[in-house]
Amino acid sequence: MKILFAFIFLFIAPAFVFTQVEAEYALWENGVGKRWLTYHLEKNDVLLMKDKWNKIEKSLESTSNEFAGKYFQYGYMSGYFLNWSPEEGFIYVRYFDVEHPCYFSYGKVSIKTFEVNFITEYETSESICPGKVPTPPVWIPANGGKYLIPKNESKRFGNFYGGFGEFNGFFRKWTEDFPFARKWKKDYKSQQKFILPKGLETDIKKPIITEIIAVGKKRITKFEPHFGPFYEKSSITPVTINAGSKNGVVKGLEFIILNSEGENSQTLKITSVGKNTSRGIVIRQINEKDFEGYFKYDEKSKNMVDTPFSPIQIGQKISTSPLQILDY
């Protein structure tokens, strides 16, 4: 009987060990996001990636550089995250399909004033990431260190800061993706006040911040699908704002209503422009029951619930910039 038991153990144990070892390569929980399924990468690469990450994490406990740490650029289907310190270098990881790392690189870091240079020493030889996107070599902190961005995207960040170009109407267009890597909140300690480092100030677009000075009568109507294909109706409220062409307002420009509620379900769109004032419409989401509101997480019920918007009022502050109401 003992011989039979020993035979069964010897037969089963390797399979059990193999399963445990395979799991080591297939799953990575590093505190950024929820989890990462790493089975698309070579096994040896996964070990190298984890080892480098852990060394950087350890060095962050004593580093004096306030911009070092973890950054995460999230997207519904793809994005990247990175971790770096002056002492242990960097690791840069791209992912796709929500949670699948598909490329990584690591190496040394060289710092010149506000420029953080990534000197790649190793990268995955095979990548299944969509497109062929190499590791950006030069990065800069932005908005006081809340962001770390490739230096060649400084003009793009300037538009993001002001809420212009592709970022105008930000919350309506970018609800499931984010354009830049934000510092992991618990790592953020900087008290710096700069938007972009010295020498790149001309890339910054100043946001238009103003207020509503007149409110018209609301109506419910069919409107262009601002908030996705499932909403056929919108509420439309005419308004006048205290800014015009001399402030940079143009027809079609969108403003964010600064009340921190349902920001991706409402917007203010300019319809005509004067020198000192402009007219526009506040467009708000309407569901199939003609309810004007947005979804909000309810702590008591642990569900998303329909929540009505606050009334539009004279004196309501508005801005082109998404940074006015982003969490930090």
CATH number at residue 238: 2.40.30
pLDDT at 13: 42
pLDDT at 7: 41
Question: Do 221 and 180 have their domain in common?
Answer: no
User: Residue 318 and residue 242: Cα distance in Å, rounded?
Assistant: 10
Question: Do 138 and 276 have their domain in common?
Answer: no
Question: Do 147 and 108 have their domain in common?
Answer: yes
Question: Do 66 and 199 have their domain in common?
Answer: yes
Question: Do 222 and 129 have their domain in common?
Answer: no
pLDDT at 17: 40
Q: Is residue 7 part of a domain?
A: no
pLDDT of 18 over the 80 cut:
no
Question: Do 135 and 273 have their domain in common?
Answer: no
Chain centroid, CA 154 distance in Å: 16
What separation in angstroms does the CA of 222 have from each of 173, 263, 283?
20, 20, 11
- Considering 156, 171, 203, which residue would you say is the last residue of a domain? 203
Question: Do 214 and 194 have their domain in common?
Answer: no
**Strand partners of residue 80:** 73, 94
Q: Is residue 3 part of a domain?
A: no
Q: Is residue 5 part of a domain?
A: no
Range of the domain at 117: 12-203
**Average of per-residue pLDDT across 294-300:** 77
Q: Is residue 1 part of a domain?
A: no
* pLDDT tens digits, 31-72: 898 789 998 898 889 999 999 999 999 999 999 999 999 999
Question: Do 289 and 194 have their domain in common?
Answer: no
Residues 169 and 254 sit within 8 Å (Cβ to Cβ): yes
Report the share of the chain in percent with pLDDT over 90: 62
Report the share of the chain in percent with pLDDT over 70: 90
Domain count, the chain: 2
pLDDT at 189: 77
Q: Is residue 108 part of a domain?
A: yes
Q: Is residue 90 part of a domain?
A: yes
pLDDT at 188: 79
- Considering 153, 173, 203, which residue would you say is the last residue of a domain? 203
Of 299 and 159, the structure prediction assigns the larger pLDDT to 159
Q: Is residue 186 part of a domain?
A: yes
* pLDDT tens digits, 251-264: 999 999 998 788 88
* pLDDT tens digits, 111-145: 998 999 999 999 987 777 877 778 999 999 999 99
- Considering 203, 232, 251, which residue would you say is the last residue of a domain? 203
User: Residue 249 and residue 320: Cα distance in Å, rounded?
Assistant: 10
Question: Do 154 and 239 have their domain in common?
Answer: no
User: Residue 30 and residue 274: Cα distance in Å, rounded?
Assistant: 53
Question: Do 126 and 16 have their domain in common?
Answer: yes
Of 262 and 110, the structure prediction assigns the larger pLDDT to 110
Question: Do 122 and 185 have their domain in common?
Answer: yes
Chain centroid, CA 148 distance in Å: 12
User: Residue 138 and residue 115: Cα distance in Å, rounded?
Assistant: 7
- Residue 78: CB atoms within 10 A of its CB come to 19
**Average of per-residue pLDDT across 21-25:** 68
* pLDDT tens digits, 245-291: 999 999 999 999 998 788 888 999 999 999 999 999 999 988 777 78
Question: Do 67 and 162 have their domain in common?
Answer: yes
pLDDT of 244 over the 90 cut:
yes
